[in-house]
Amino acid sequence: MKVKIWGARGSVPSPGPETVRYGGNTSCVQVTLDDGTLLILDAGTGIRGMGIALAAEAARVHIIVTHLHLDHIQGLMFFAPAFRSESEITIWGPASPEASLRDRIARYISAPLSPVEVRELPCEVAFRDCPETEWEIGTAHLRAASVTHRGPTLGYRITADDCSLAYIPDHEPAIGASLENDEPDWISGFDLARGASLLVHDCQYTDAEYADHVGWGHSGLSDTLTFARRTEVERLLLFHHDPMHSDDFLDTFYGSALEGWAERGGDPVALELATERREIELSAATDPLGSR
Amino acid sequence: MSQKPIELILARNLLSSLTTPAFLVDDHGALVFYNDAAATLVGRRFEERGQMAASDWTEQFGPADPEGRPVSWEDLPLTKALFAGRAIHSKMHLKVLDGTVHEIEVSALPIFATGGTRGAMAIFWPVEDGPQAGGPK
């Protein structure tokens, strides 16, 4: 299983010289399985560059969105395969009693926000509510579960090729809970992350910033590290960087993260900050340094 | 033990912050949480007891109607809210560990979500004690 980061920024795109190293595009992660199955996790602005890079023959793709906040769907309209008639795109997302997934996404891909309507897309596009039970795409087994964030939001666990990826980019498991002491079944997202080869997890704030953002649906550094250690993941990728955090700030932040990780008994090679275009290859016995 | 639905996790987070006694049951009626304010009624913190099957907590807490007759599990406001799918408000009595009986008012609400019923919560007002600490004076 290959994982490639196309956007790791949270909330709003933040391009510019201050963010050029970690990147300013919002959430998008490409997962390519050994059998060639292509999964795209979230459709933030990072999906634009990915669409350009994808070979034209990659006609069948699955886009799996965690929720419909703009930073997770904004790139959909700029995803090149959506404008090719031979493409078959399936968009998976959280169900809602309020409206279908198609209608909720169409609020963005419609006037006055968009010059294009969903029905005008030349590709074949289908919208599917994520099942409550595990389902399969290619050789991947997928599991979705609601997690603590604002509005209907899913986290995912993808198991394939003898390894597992947990993707919970927008998550505040610590709100009203004790991550150190609560039983696992009472911690949001615990089962998704448990023992994963790689956990990609929200880490938008420093601890000091989090104190001013409790209830906004995102995690502070200490909570993310504690969650990862409690769930015993093999590797942790800190994700959903705050748009106010420059590259220099994130470098310092990473230093703090390594200290906190070590205090919790974590191996430093198993922790990193998500960076645009970073590729990680997971295998059954994941080499913590296995990357390109 | 399997992961609790997010709606129960969030309900527990809310109830654990309240100074009003409150119970939380899952979709089978098992008592999965009560808060510290409720612990003052039933005599022991939830963390000391843990999760309880419907028959167990009904028997131990001895819910009774205003005339002192035991209330069966099926007739409890919490159970009615869970299985009838509507809000219930009523008066009843609770017998606690020290043997004393407390008259209480109960409001019970079912918890619905995409995919079905997740459980129900009940909030209690001890009638004889007047307004709750932290509540309206």
The verdict on B69 touching A (C-beta cutoff 8 Å) is no
**If you average pLDDT over residues B94-121, what whole number do you get?**
86
Domain count of the fold of chain A:
1
pLDDT in tens, B6-60: 999 999 989 988 889 999 999 999 999 999 888 887 878 898 888 999 888 877 7
Q: Which two tokens stand for residue A125?
A: 């596009």
CATH number at residue A31: 3.60.15.10
**If you average pLDDT over residues A139-148, what whole number do you get?**
96
d(CA A292, CA A129): 34
**For residue A288, is it within any domain?**
no
Give residue A292's pLDDT. 40
**For residue A289, is it within any domain?**
no
**If you average pLDDT over residues A108-128, what whole number do you get?**
95
Q: Residue B92 sits in which domain range? A: 6-129
Name the pLDDT band for B74 (thresholds 50, 70, 90). confident
Q: Which of B2, B6, B114 sits opposite A148 (nearest CB)?
A: B6
**For residue B137, is it within any domain?**
no
Q: Which of B3, B16, B114 sits opposite A145 (nearest CB)?
A: B3
Domain count of the fold of chain B:
1
Q: Which of B1, B10, B114 sits opposite A148 (nearest CB)?
A: B10
Q: Residue A146 sits in which domain range? A: 2-280
CB pairs under 8 A between A and B: 42
**For residue B14, is it within any domain?**
yes
**For residue A221, is it within any domain?**
yes
Measured between beta carbons, the chain B residues lying within 8 angstroms of A148 are 6, 9-10
Residue at A87: amino acid letter: S
- The ipTM (two decimal places) reads 0.74
d(CA A53, CA A46): 11
Give residue B65's pLDDT. 77
**H/E/C letters for each residue in A84-117?**
CCCCEEEEEECCCCCCCHHHHHHCCCCCCCCCCC
**For residue A286, is it within any domain?**
no
- Average pLDDT across chain A, whole number: 94
**H/E/C letters for each residue in chain B?**
CCCCCHHHHHHHHHHHHCCCCEEEEECCCCEEEECHHHHHHHCCCHHHHCCECHHHHHHHHCCECCCCCECCHHHCHHHHHHHHCCCEEEEEEEECCCCCEEEEEEEEEEEEECCEEEEEEEEEEEHHHCCCCCCCC
CB contact under 8 A, A176 and B1: no
Is the predicted pLDDT of residue A257 greater than 70, yes or no? Answer: yes
Q: Which of A283-292, B36-45, B58-67, B95-104 has the lowest mean pLDDT?
A: A283-292
**For residue B82, is it within any domain?**
yes
Give residue A98's pLDDT. 81
**For residue B30, is it within any domain?**
yes
d(CA A200, CA B8): 24
Q: Which two tokens stand for residue B8?
A: 């129960």
Give residue B1's pLDDT. 63
**For residue A156, is it within any domain?**
yes
CATH number at residue B31: 3.30.450.20
- Percent of chain A exceeding pLDDT 70 equals 97
d(CA B120, CA B108): 7
